[in-house]
């Protein structure tokens, strides 16, 4: 491999980044990326490794935990807890905040993640991913207490995901630009392959689980009906639909070629009007989408402006190409 300026590993990119990323934050991002390399190796074993199937446990979401959910969560804990860079960790797979154990030093950041999003797709070999969010730990708060995590998405100092698909790709933002790095399996390095990602402003592709149609609110139902009506309908153009059932995969497609991703509130389960989690799914994805020029809303409220009340709270999610998200907002207003 000839090292030229076009060959930019993650570590070198972060040190050169135009947004002057603090040294400790650079190192924390590299710690997370290193852990995701190990998760990628575990995922890529497929049926050859003892990783398929479920554990006989449930997480706070009431979801059966896949073996790889547990393994991925453990990899991220062991890859970051010792570094002295974080004061606490929150995960979809852990009920409470994970305090940094003694004798490790507590650092200045808070790390949140969904260690393996879309894990119901693992056994059928569909892309899954890790979603992560990094916040500053407020000096005032008890280092790493629950309340210190409850910050709006706008406060994130970094956010990203790693998609374990036909290739393993890290998509990262520190709020200035969005950049993607493909894992070179031979070198074991994430290499910059998609500098300064921008979401196309318009799209003719929507992603939603249409089996929930009977439970949607009227604005969403009317919006989807009009998309499906195509050229002869009020939108006057043909739409395509995609639904992978793995947020990382659906959002990566949206980041790459545009689109609109919707997991709106529905009345299917009155106790759970929304499905996706704010702190470690909606917020990091919203920061990535909006930094890349897209828009992220609940349908009535910008996601990044929500003041969290609970660590595992859920919110409706509509995000992607700005002009199309604006159309959905218009359906809500009219």
Q: Which residues make up the interface to ligand P6P (CB under 6 A)?
A: 117-118, 120, 209, 245-247, 250, 263, 275-276
DSSP 208-255: --GGGGGGB-HHHHHHHHHHHHGGGSTT-S--EE---S-HHHHHHHHH
154's tokens = 């706008």
C-alpha angle with apex 46: 40 to 50, nearest 5 degrees? 100
Using CA atoms, how far apart are residues 73 and 333, in angstroms rounded to an integer?
A: 41
Q: Which residues pair with 190 in a beta bridge?
A: 183
Which residues have CB under 8 Å from 135's CB, separation 6+? 109, 110, 112, 148, 149, 151, 155, 156, 157
- Cβ 275 to ligand P6P, closest distance in Å? 6
- Residue of this chain nearest to ligand P6P (CB atom): 247
Alpha helical stretches, state H, the chain: 10-16, 23-45, 67-80, 146-149, 218-229, 247-257, 283-291, 322-333
Backbone dihedral angles phi then psi of residue 165, each to the nearest 5 degrees: -125, -145
């Amino acid at each position: 491999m000839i090292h030229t300026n076009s060959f930019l590993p993650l570590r070198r990119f972060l040190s050169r980044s135009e947004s002057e990323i603090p040294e400790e934050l650079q190192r924390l991002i590299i710690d997370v990326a290193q852990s995701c390399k190990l998760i990628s190796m575990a995922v890529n074993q497929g049926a050859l490794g003892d990783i398929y199937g479920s554990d006989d446990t449930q997480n706070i979401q009431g979801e059966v935990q896949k073996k790889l959910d547990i393994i991925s969560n453990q990899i991220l804990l062991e890859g970051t807890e010792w570094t002295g860079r974080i004061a606490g960790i929150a995960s979809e797979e852990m009920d409470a905040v994970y305090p940094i154990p003694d004798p490790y030093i507590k650092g200045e950041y808070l790390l949140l993640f969904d260690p393996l999003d879309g894990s119901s797709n693992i056994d059928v070999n569909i892309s899954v991913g890790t979603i992560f969010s990094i916040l500053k730990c407020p000096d005032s708060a008890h280092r790493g207490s629950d309340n210190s995590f409850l910050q709006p998405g706008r406060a994130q100092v970094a956010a990203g995901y790693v998609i374990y698909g036909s290739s393993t790709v890290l998509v990262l933002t520190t709020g200035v630009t969005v950049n993607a790095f493909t894992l070179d399996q031979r070198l074991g390095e994430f290499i910059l392959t998609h500098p300064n990602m921008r979401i196309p402003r318009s799209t003719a592709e929507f992603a939603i689980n249409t089996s929930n149609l009977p439970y949607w609110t009227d604005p969403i139902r009317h919006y989807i009906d009009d998309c499906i009506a195509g050229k002869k309908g009020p939108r006057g153009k043909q739409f395509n639909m995609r639904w992978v059932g793995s947020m990382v995969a659906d959002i990566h497609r949206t980041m790459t070629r545009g689109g609109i991703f919707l997991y709106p509130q529905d009345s299917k389960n009155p106790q759970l009007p929304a499905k996706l989690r704010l702190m470690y799914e909606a917020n990091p994805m919203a920061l990535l989408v909006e930094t890349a020029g897209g828009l992220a809303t609940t349908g009535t409220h910008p996601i990044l402006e929500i003041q969290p009340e609970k660590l595992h709270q859920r919110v409706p999610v509509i995000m992607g190409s700005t002009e199309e998200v604006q159309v959905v907002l218009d359906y809500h207003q009219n």
